[in-house]
Chains A and B, each alone.
Chain A
């Protein structure tokens, strides 16, 4: 539901933080004209193998995307 800026094809996938990008007002709140606290934004890198499994075109190619910390979970 609603305005979401984490693409479905990345949800639940494992990536590595390529670089932090700073903090920006939460777009998922801005979209509704609500107070939008700053959220940490990261560039996260995913391999095609992780995203698409056996159907990956070239497993070691990568996708970088910008994701807010609200959409990230640390792997220990």
Chain B
């Protein structure tokens, strides 16, 4: 078969080196991946190039995509309206390839703080934000967020006022959710690129807030 695709061995979207996996002992499940991949290629179900393209497409998705949406919504009221009406369409307007993702944006305000979870599996807006962090898929996060979201948020370093309503979204079916966080104070006049740098992944899941201006 053609040589392996090694272009992914550089840096991840979070600027960390990918875990080296060429020199770790071969596991049973890695054997299964290799065997299945080869069989699917031989049977014409897919090709090495198609697999490499799919990996590239997934690698290109990162929280920076969501940050760009949020920053535009903070500066462009008509876009914000569109984002809240139809976040999939707004994402495509921005040129993001989100595949069949059905995205709903929920807005944080002075009165409401939104947080996203999937209690049944680990649904996540991966076609916009990239693959989820491990904690999002953990038993602790999936179990506790629908019952004690304030304690969970506290563990992420976020304490909300009693008068703020916490609105948890359990992604149980075909929709995926992104939080539109509130624009930080002290950012008047900032352009979109500068604002986007404040928008963290966690602020779009609801387990954090945007960074505060330095």
A and B touch in the complex (CB under 8 A): yes
- Residues of A whose CB lies within 8 Å of any CB of B are 5-7, 9, 21, 24, 27, 41, 43, 48, 51-52, 57-58, 60-68
* New contact pairs (12) apart from A62-B166, A63-B146, A65-B170, CB-CB < 8 Å: A6-B172, A7-B170, A9-B146, A27-B173, A41-B174, A51-B146, A57-B148, A58-B150, A61-B167, A61-B168, A66-B173, A68-B173
A-B residue pairs in contact (CB < 8 Å), sample of 14: A6-B172, A24-B173, A27-B173, A48-B147, A51-B147, A57-B151, A61-B166, A62-B166, A63-B169, A63-B170, A64-B169, A66-B172, A67-B172, A67-B173
Instruction: Give every chain B residue within 8 A of A62 (Cβ-Cβ).
Output: 165-168
B132 located at the interface, meaning its Cβ lies under 8 Å from any Cβ of chain A in the complex: no
User: What's the minimum C-beta distance from A21 to chain B, rounded to whole angstroms?
Assistant: 6
A57 and B120 in contact (CB under 8 A), knowing A62-B165, A64-B167, A65-B170? no
User: What's the minimum C-beta distance from B213 to chain A, rounded to whole angstroms?
Assistant: 29
Instruction: Give every chain A residue within 8 A of B165 (Cβ-Cβ).
Output: 60-62
Q: How many A-B residue pairs have CB under 8 A?
A: 64
* B interface SS class: loop
Determine the distance from Cα of A69 to Cα of B19 in the docked complex, in whole angstroms. Answer: 44
Interface string of B116-154 (1 = CB under 8 A from A): 000110000000000000000000000000111111000
B175 located at the interface, meaning its Cβ lies under 8 Å from any Cβ of chain A in the complex: yes
Interface string of B30-56 (1 = CB under 8 A from A): 000000000000000000000000000
Determine the distance from Cα of A67 to Cα of B147 in the docked complex, in whole angstroms. Answer: 18
Determine the distance from Cα of A62 to Cα of B165 in the docked complex, in whole angstroms. Answer: 8
A58 and B172 in contact (CB under 8 A), knowing A5-B120, A63-B146? no
Determine the distance from Cα of A70 to Cα of B12 in the docked complex, in whole angstroms. Answer: 42
B75 located at the interface, meaning its Cβ lies under 8 Å from any Cβ of chain A in the complex: no
Cβ-defined contact, A57 with B149, below 8 A: yes
Closest residue of chain B to A21 (Cβ to Cβ) is B175
